[in-house]
Each structure stands twice: as structure tokens, then as C-alpha cells.
Structure 1
């Protein structure tokens, strides 16, 4: 029996001489949807369709950077019944298959409680997570992740209880919106907001207008998360000779846009934030070690003792030695 849905997402072989076709050098991302008895076919189908549309839209332009290949898998392989009793054929992934897997999605469904006590399914999820695969749940699919001891992971800005329609919307409409927004988050991260918005326009009801508020929120919060992630990176690497350009590259942004975003979200420039991180590290070393000031300066990315002393005078109105003396008196 041929797997349902997954074949539809596999691009055609690259013709050798047709330069307008999808280039063979395009990055291929392998996405798996793990199914269990009672899973939501609407979730799985919406996710698969969104990735298919992304492939299709890219094939119509010269910028085809990512091709998604989708596989439907299960703990034992073979036929799995969805919540409406339709049988769907799934593959059984072997250990070597996990090495090429980029994303795994767990759909919601009426059978999630039984799936949460399925030892084979739980072991499979734990193995996937141990390989560093990005695992995301849709709707109540997070119950299966919890049973496997996997930390629930929301896409930046994603809310599992987000409501995109009116309170009178049916459960099916709501489930589809959950799956679609999750799909858009993946597409936005991989391909940018513009293409994700085009997919939303293609798949969203009412021309995608009901998805607009959630998509705008996803965009804004994703940017905020980028700024916070960059701030964490600066703190973790402040002792190294890093620059604002290095921090901008960690967010895949131009330096100009990064500076604007960082200042908006953190309230200070990246340079000022880096200086503060280096001074905090310096204070800890002064208080908790007997290292000479000059050596501490080199270890915290502040070049030398002279520069460190000037910074302390400017920022703390005292010398490093005075700070060390005061901190030890307090302790």
C-alpha cells in the first residue's frame, strides 16, 4: 500500500537540462509526522499540505532554497486508524532514518490518552529526541511528549490555546488553525515571513484573513525571541573577542536591523549590553578569585588592566582593587 500524503510532497527528479526546474542543490529537509490510533487526520493533512504548498510556491520562483519531504511514521509501521476511523499507511523508521530527520510533529487526536501509555511510541519519541531532532506537538499532542519526558516546545510566539476564529467556530476549524499556525511557524523560520504569509493566504479561510492576527503575533514574538536569544549568546560569549556583527549573524539578520531590534527589545544597544556582561563577569572574578587585575581583564575580553580600570572608574566610580576589597568585606 502506498503511503498517504508523503508522496505528494516529494519533488520530481531534477531534469538535467531544464534550468527552470528545482535545482538539485536545494536543501532537503526531512519532516516526519508520527501517527497513533485516534490521531487527527486534519492536523496531519494540514501540516502536509502547508509544506507541499511551500514547495510549490518556491518552484515558481528562482529562489528555491528548501524542499520538504514528509514521511508518515508510527511505532510499528503499517496501517493506523485516524479519529474518523480512516486507515492511513505509515512507515516504520529504523535507527539510521533518524540521522536524516530534521523535524518531527505529533498531531492532536482523540486517541492521545492511549498513545501516552504506548511504550513503543514513547520509546520511539525518546530515541528521536536523543538524536537532537526538533520535536513539536500540535494541540493536545503535547500530552504524548509529556509522557515521554520530553519538554514541551512551543515555537517562538506559539500558543497551543490560540484562537484564530470566533467562539462559534467548530472544533474541526479550530484544530485546523492550530495545525496551520504550527506549520507557518516552521516555514517562517526556514523561509521567511513573506513565503509563510503566502502559504497562509493559500490555505487560510477567507483569504487567510482569519489567520492574520495570529500570524502578526507570531512575527512580532519571533523577533522578540531572536533578540533575547542574541542577548543570551552575548552573555555566554562575552569573554571572547566578539562583535556586534557576530551577534547579528547568530540571528540571521543584517547588522542594521539587528541593532534596531535589539535596542527596541532590550532597551540598550548590543555594544552596551556586551560591556555590561563583561563587567558583570569581571566583578565575579574580582570577588571570587585572587587573579591579578590585568589577567582578569584579558579573561573577560577587556584587553588589559588599564582599560579595565578606566571602565570601572566610569561605570562604578571606583577601581577594580577597591571593588574587590569592598566585596570581600561584605562577604
Structure 2
């Protein structure tokens, strides 16, 4: 059998399987998940439904969002997403399962119950770890004999460099089901700008400008201002070296990342002093300032008065604030 005949048969078989009932895709999310990653996976399969209709009026794919608790879960952007409870399904209910495994959380080390659901039975953690390492092409982790499980690091798009982007995994599934042509069309819809080279595929989706990366890191700082944040942490989000990140950030915002962080913190501190009755010490802890003594020293240095005086006087005038 020559290559052209084999290719034709393969395409024929793919077209034949594409006419079956909707493929059920599961997307397992966790609290504080990145809403962009969930959205881009969902959008890829939605576009595939438009470009490759299923049979009998059914879509080619149907997507179920799940979490361990079910119901509304919070995302890193403080937007809630509604999800099904994990145990409404078995893994075998799906044609493929996508798992938002965060970079900072080693799921296999912290949740044996989840692994039991994923792989079945009360196996040891060591055995479960071994099973999660069974790898196929495109970064998929497979449950033996049946359902492919796609693990991805649930991190901001700016930090995708060097890792398998979630959208790439969704495109790999679409390409496996419906061929390169449909996958390319999904790419063109996700990224409507003309591609510079006819052979460019999904890899282009991970290319972002330096400005995009700096803005993403600034958003990350705003979301995590109450935590201890280092330059290395923020530079990692932007996928840059510390030195380059500091230079680029200051060029974009006119302040260093540390100053930007303090501006974010003090903006909330001032709001809480005026709009709440929280004690200064509690405000300090909530805003990542340690304790009331430290907040008092920094507040006086910044505004020339103590936090309690600021509260008593109803804040600063617009002119004073602009000068600070």
C-alpha cells in the first residue's frame, strides 16, 4: 500500500468516526483557576463544533466543567464559574479529560481521593504517580486502554513559554479526531490575524509581545498583593530574567515592580481605612504589610500622617494624594 492510499484510508476512517454521537470532553478545574485557560479550551471545542458539525443535529463535542466540590468556584480573576460535582461522572464517561493541574500544586502529592477517581481503586500514592507518568504524544497522560487525560499547568498565558499550552492540547485532540485541516481552521479563528507562514500551526498561539507579558505580570501582582511577592516570582510569570523584567516593567509603568506592588497595597489600605472599621493591624495583615507597626511606619513615610489620623481626617485632599 503506497503512502497516498494509506493517507486516503486514514482520512476516510476519520471522517467515518466523525459522524458518531458527540464526544464528551471533561474539564476539571480547581479553586483560583486561571479563567483564560478554561476559556480558550472551551472556545477551541466550540469552534470545532461550528466547523465540523456532528451527526443527527448534535455538536461534535460537548463540554462539562467539573470541580471537586461542584457548584460555583472562584477563579484567579475573582469571577465564579459553575461546575458539576466530580462524582456526577466516572472518567469513562468522557472521550477525553483535561485537568488544570496548577504549577504550584503537585496534585498527585496532595489528593489521593482525586487520583482514586482518575485511575480507579484505592492504589498507593506511589502507584498513582507511576500511572500519571504514562505519556503519549502531545503531552497527554492516558488512563490505560480508554480515556486520554491531558494535564496542563494552570498558569497565565504570559508564562506559557517552555510548557505545553492548554490550547495546544485541545488542538491536538481536535486534530486527532477531525484532521489537520479542521485544527488549522480552529487556529485561524482563535488567532484571526493572517499567519506569516502557511505551515505555522498552534505554536504561534503562545507568542505574546513583551508588553503583553508585562501587563500579565502586573495583573498577577494585583491578584496576589496580599502575599509575599519577590521579583523572581513576578519575572517568572512574565517568562523573563530578573534584570530584563525590571527594566521592561519600569519602562512600561514608570515604577519598579516593588513600587507598583506598594501602590496597589496602599490604594486598598486607604480605601479600607475610610470605608471600614477594621483595626489597623488587621488591615495590615490583609494587605500584605505584616503588622500595624510596620504599616504605621510606611504610611507616615508615604503620607506624612499615621493611619489613624488619615481615618479621622477622612483621607487626604486630591492635591496631597497626587503628590504622594
TM-score after normalising by structure 2: 0.43
TM-score after normalising by structure 1: 0.42
